[in-house]
Structure 1
């Protein structure tokens, strides 16, 4: 009697990471070479291939030309639906867009004083760093702040106009911070370009260095890390000679520039990131008071340690990230927004070690600290998606609940 015929098993589709690895091998590229061509770190390519990191649309777009891929479906496979509008949007984006593109052809009346505008701009940054719902609150005040600083830059004259231009640049930087995770890409470019133009017209070294710092973040995020490092070096050359005899804000700015360079190097897999980080730490400890906290970017001793954790995670070294974070009490981080992001970085570090429960616990702490950081952070959303779909059953239900609360659609 013939044995019953067993149904044929359906062939298993390769994962996006396996597809990347196969195409890389077929083209004869090493991971290091592919990473360099695509402006990614070798660690990122490794983790994409072995499934420890999801293949994002942006990474796929950077990798595709060097793998001979013209259709991104060849990387993601037939079972994956791609959305070109995958980034969540914030309700206030349209109001901010109108403020950014409302060109005042004629301007009349009395401008707000620069003292008033400085207070309003500073209040905007304080809100950004102290509110649990910083994007909602800043999104509400940004249109009025942009309008007031734009008018002042047109109506004031002489030194008051230059001061108004420096404050206008800061308004654009705050708009960039707001738009970075949920605004249309062209709006982010617009804030960077407008902020740089206003800083140049202000003829103020600090304003120009700030503008370069913000521009470097955009350059890094679009795969132009080398350009970002060059511009940051130019800004340091502008600021460093003024540190010894200038106000404390020059030392703050110099430390910020080194920290930005360190993170940029880390995200391209460059171990030289630690040299820049050490330089930033030296400036903060040598030239700033022990309890100093910068207004806009929160430069401080705790923030330097936050950057060390970020660098270690981006360099793919979870052991170093854990070591660096061991002595850092999150409560000392002088920004609710940065504290939330720190928990996300720790969650990424735990994820690199396959610790699903720890990753979810840390994402939950990030959500409790700053819900909008989890809702809009690409790294948090990517990690939540994977935990909700791939984590062990003991973790998955809680991950799904947090994902739904954060507006991550599975």
Structure 2
């Protein structure tokens, strides 16, 4: 039975938000609106949001059934605005496949698998359509790594497990926002298991970075912060001797900065951001980690994201002025920079600026923006509340991003 029976849509939104432990500021920020706007919705002082905005609120609250917010049963289950991608079915099949018997020939080369995993991560970052370019050949690499860990022994087997853990991490990036949560949880769990078998603290820290992403997207932010803190502690003994560990440690600090910002914990968010900045400055100029792309450029981009999540639009734009987009070693992250700037302009109620910057993000990587809920939500919001001056251009951009408005 619906235990929210009799409540208005606004009251339902408030009740679900409070049960999830999320503040108005955090939820409002995730849908690109003000805290005062959300308060008026919850208190019934504004009309019920349109369908596109209800979908955005459901995303922000991690609600799978929209009727929980609306109180009606005739609205299609799930988030109709959620993106999908053609690469997902084959990846799902490779991940879920059970190999009871495996062929030993050709004999697996663990070093080659590691090189191919690293190459796949590089392709993910340089491609303008990473889900297509990396997602299509990825199932074959998943199967080869799975076979290798069954056939090899000793140190080669541990190398193969490390490669498999990295491949699962890449799967999480590809599947985020376009696959069902159960598959993401499976990928993260498999990645942790593979890293444990690799017997490498760095691999385990990387797998925790991946699992933390999934926990955060599921609204389990406290668990994510705790896990990532543990992962950082795990590799601290290696920080002076292993540059890659120092980069991963910095990436974990940025991870927790983003998570803390989404919980509305400004002090923690800025503290973790400072720690990440210190780690970035300790690395050679121009350095970036092979798959988290941790380095000074990504740290600067994260500063923009964190301040946007904290609803500090002016401060986010000030941080953006420090970033040279050409120095960001990832098209997906470069597109995200323009998206965060668009969100910041939206916070300042500059609809035209937000539209232009979101269009710039789509120009950098249309695929990334078509899949990202923040980009899709902002596009829909610009159509419905951006005003007649930009409505035509906003509707055209929303169509590019696959948003039905």
Range of TM-score over shorter length: 0.7 to 0.9
Aligned to 2:183: 187
Aligned to 2:59: 58
Verify the 8 A CA contact 1:124 1:141 in the aligned structure 2.
no
Aligned to 2:315: 320
Using the size of structure 1 for normalisation, the TM-score is: 0.86
Partners of 2:165 and 2:242 in 1: CA distance: 20
Q: 1:142 aligns with which of 135, 138, 141?
A: 138
Verify the 8 A CA contact 2:102 2:150 in the aligned structure 1.
yes
1:161 aligns with 2:157: yes
Residue-by-residue CA offset, 1:292-325 (whole Å, 9 max, x unaligned)? 1111011111111111111101111111101111
Aligned to 1:43: 25
What is the CA distance between 1:20 and its match in structure 2? 3.0
- Structure 1 unaligned spans of 5+: 1-17, 28-33
Structure 1's 235 and 409: CA in aligned 2 closer, same or farther, altered over 3 A?
Answer: same
Partners of 1:187 and 1:22 in 2: CA distance: 29
What is the CA distance between 1:36 and its match in structure 2? 6.3
Equivalent pairs counted in the alignment come to 376
Provide the secondary structure at the position in 2 that maps to 1:292. Answer: coil
Partners of 1:339 and 1:112 in 2: CA distance: 36
Structure 1's 159 and 349: CA in aligned 2 closer, same or farther, altered over 3 A?
Answer: same
TM alignment of 1:10-409, pairs within 5 A: 19-20=9-10, 24=14, 37-45=19-27, 47=34, 50=37, 54-55=53-54, 56-60=57-61, 71-74=68-71, 81-86=75-80, 87-108=82-103, 109-244=105-240, 246-271=241-266, 272-286=268-282, 288-409=283-404
Partners of 2:63 and 2:345 in 1: CA distance: 26
Verify the 8 A CA contact 1:39 1:224 in the aligned structure 2.
no
Structure 1's 61 and 338: CA in aligned 2 closer, same or farther, altered over 3 A?
Answer: closer
Taking CA–CA contacts closer than 8 Å with sequence separation of 6 or more, which of the two structures ends up with the larger relative contact order? 2
Partners of 2:145 and 2:308 in 1: CA distance: 38
Partners of 1:371 and 1:112 in 2: CA distance: 37
Verify the 8 A CA contact 2:277 2:299 in the aligned structure 1.
yes
Verify the 8 A CA contact 2:58 2:64 in the aligned structure 1.
no
Structure 1's 36 and 201: CA in aligned 2 closer, same or farther, altered over 3 A?
Answer: farther
Verify the 8 A CA contact 1:20 1:49 in the aligned structure 2.
no
Provide the secondary structure at the position in 2 that maps to 1:269. Answer: coil
What is the CA distance between 1:60 and its match in structure 2? 4.7
Verify the 8 A CA contact 1:111 1:148 in the aligned structure 2.
no
Using the size of structure 2 for normalisation, the TM-score is: 0.87
Q: Give me the CA root mean square deviation.
A: 2.4
Partners of 1:22 and 1:142 in 2: CA distance: 42
Residue-by-residue CA offset, 1:113-163 (whole Å, 9 max, x unaligned)? 112111211111111100111111111111111011111111110010011
Structure 1's 84 and 113: CA in aligned 2 closer, same or farther, altered over 3 A?
Answer: same
Structure 1's 63 and 181: CA in aligned 2 closer, same or farther, altered over 3 A?
Answer: closer
Partners of 1:157 and 1:112 in 2: CA distance: 11
Provide the secondary structure at the position in 2 that maps to 1:172. Answer: helix
Residue-by-residue CA offset, 1:228-261 (whole Å, 9 max, x unaligned)? 11111111111112111x2210100110111101
Deviant stretches of 4+, over 6 Å: none
Structure 1's 70 and 127: CA in aligned 2 closer, same or farther, altered over 3 A?
Answer: closer
